[in-house]
Every structure is written in structure tokens, then in C-alpha cells.
Structure 1
């Protein structure tokens, strides 16, 4: 009786996605030791940039000459990197030295560049930690910058989780704007978004009906809204007190 060959497992996604993740997985092993050494000796920003450039090319698939512009001029100032995909500027990258903790001041610096150039995406890194932020500019409102993803290359998370997050920064993924879908999903379930849902008329009315079912008490919807605003939701999430 002849044996039937077992068909090989099909990749979970398209080939370009599998290839991108393979790039990242291989690079994480390759860069771990050099990155650890940079952190241990508190390497300067210039040395960190050398490693970041190599990581962008080897792990994330960018062409050093076609896709990356160092010291990108922004109205008399300079972003560390401008990232172009098919000649279109899509993001700025700000690099800090390997042992330096990334902070809000660093973010504000590159955020200003993005606003001036009309970009949605900025990346902040010290080689070890990679953060990607979405920048939203609405006329007459304060600029909103929200974290879309964060990866600690030397952290305790599994390699698989690091690969899944870094994938959205790979050239192939950024070209297809997968990071926007990631950001939209996160924004939809952010504390602010959920606070808005809790205060929506439909949810307040559903609360009123459930309270009546459980306690035979017909609560006032406006009063429920006041209680939600003042006693349930953190004050900083209540942007519009009239809601």
C-alpha cells in the first residue's frame, strides 16, 4: 500500500509578509549582541545611528540610498532620517543614543517636523526601543500624537511578538500601510474611545433598561450620564463635559 504524501502547510499570509517577517526574525538574532554592546558602553548618538541604519536595511528592508535620507532638512532644522517609499516621503525617524531613555521631549521634536511636512507617521528609536506614532492634525485643534506600536528589541517578550510588531515598520508593510489599520484598531478601543462609547445615548439607554430589569427602577438617562462622567470615567478622559 503506497503512502500518501502529507501536503506542506501553507503560509498564514502572502509571501511578501512571510519574507518580511523572516527578515526581521533573522536580524533580531544578528543584532542582539552588537546592540547590547552599544547599550553597555553608552555609545554616542553617531554610533547608534550606524546600527539603526543597518537595522533599517537588513531587518526592515529599506534601501540605504533610495529610501533613506539622513539629516532631512525641515525649514532650517533637520530630522535624523526621512523615509521615502517610491520617492514619496512617508515618515521621519528620530534617533537617540542607545542607552538613553526615550521621552516626550524627543517626541515633540520630531512631531514638529512631521506637522511641518504634513506627515502622519514618526518613529522614535534608540536602537533598542522602537516607537511608532500617528500624528493627526485638524484645523483649529491641538495636534494629536498617539502611540501605534512599541517594541523593545532586547526585552523579555518572545521573538514572535517582536516580529509581529516590527513587521508594521518593514518597508513592504509600510508600503501597504498596514500600520494604519493597526492604529485604527487600537484607536477604536482606546480608553478615550471607550469613555465616549460609555457616554453615548445608546449605551446610557441600555444601562437604564438593565437597571430597570434588575431593580425595577426607571433611572433618568441624564443622571446616569452625570454619574458616569463624575464617578466612573477618569477625569482626563472626559473631554467634553456636555456629552
Structure 2
């Protein structure tokens, strides 16, 4: 499991030290950014959407708790980092929240990361169960879970414009110029989506007929899609695609 993290710490050597210990002892944790202030951390969290934030409590302009106050809903795990065993630590202990003391001991860090990893896994499992329940209630337009390396993204199936196969991977092109690379073959997506207005127009392309804006007879047959992309129809699939298009208009 890969954990996307950021480090919020006002001292540069502190950020570098923590990043180095993580790289050596917690390889599942990848640091996607560092912030020296609460203001910078807020921007970074919005950009990165981390799974985990290493948060220094004592910073000159504003302490780490001010960062948490900014967010109405906290969608990331937190491991507090502090040099002082003070009143804040007592509050953290009473709340059963993870923390590590400076100077950082790699064993303590590993234990904290392992506990956080279990919670992240549980959240992912809960999200999958929640999507299963939702899809059972709305079978006509389910959301589909797309594994994208370090996470599973759930997207509305109707938002998918087309899929492009590339070996054991598939490129998913969606509304809003969004693009995901998923570790599944195009054949797997064809099996999942063929009953929901998706048609295999070419050996490399699976197209959502609801996003076809025009059928062009040039070059043996082309489909213009809602995002402006043009998809060639293979000769042996031409009549099949035409039939599916006609049926989708009825």
C-alpha cells in the first residue's frame, strides 16, 4: 500500500530529517510536499489531497491545531510531531491520536505509521462497501471503482467518455478533461461496461455512445466524441457500431 503524505514543519532541517527517516524505514510512505507554515500547508493539502499529514505542533506564526481548524471535514490522517512533552501531548494522549516526539526515533515513527496504515485501509474498505450499497440501490447508473496506483477513485460511469487500451493498462477519459491510467485491461472494462451504452469501436477503444456527438463516414467511419476527440471505427466492427448507435437513439 502506498501512502501519500506531506510534512508540515517550520524548520528545514526538521523536514529533511523526517523525510530521510521515512525514506529509509517507511518505504510505503511517499512525501509529496513540505510546508513551513500553516498557510502554505493549507494550499498544499488542497493540491495534493494527502492520506497522511505529519504536523508539527509548535510553529511561530500559528500552531498545528490552527491548520486542523481550517478544514470543516478532515479527510486525511495526522501524526503530530513535537519537541515538547507538554499539555498538548496530554490532550493528544487522551484523544488516542498518534504523535511522535523529537528527536524522532525511527521505531516510534514506524509504529505510528503502521497504525495509520491500518486506518487508511479500513477507510478504503468502508468506501468500497459504501459504493457497493449505492450501486445496488442505483443499478441504472452505478459508480465504478478505478484503481490508480495509490488509491481507488470512484467515478460516475456516465462521466466516462471513452477508454483506450494500452497493454495491461487502460486510459480513462472523462468529462472535465479528466484522465486516469488504470491497471486493468480494456477487455476487463468491456465486460463491465458493455451493458451500459459502451461499445468496442476498435481493438484499442471502448466508447460511451452517450458521448458520441457525430458519426462520420470518412476514412471508413469515425466517431466524434463530446470532448472533441475522434475515434476510428475498425472495419469489422463498423456495422455493429452503427446498430448500437441506432438503438441508442430509440
TM (norm. structure 1) is 0.31
TM (norm. structure 2) is 0.30
Larger relative strand fraction: 2
Larger relative helix fraction: 1
Q: Which has the higher contact order (CA 8 A, sep 6+)?
A: 1
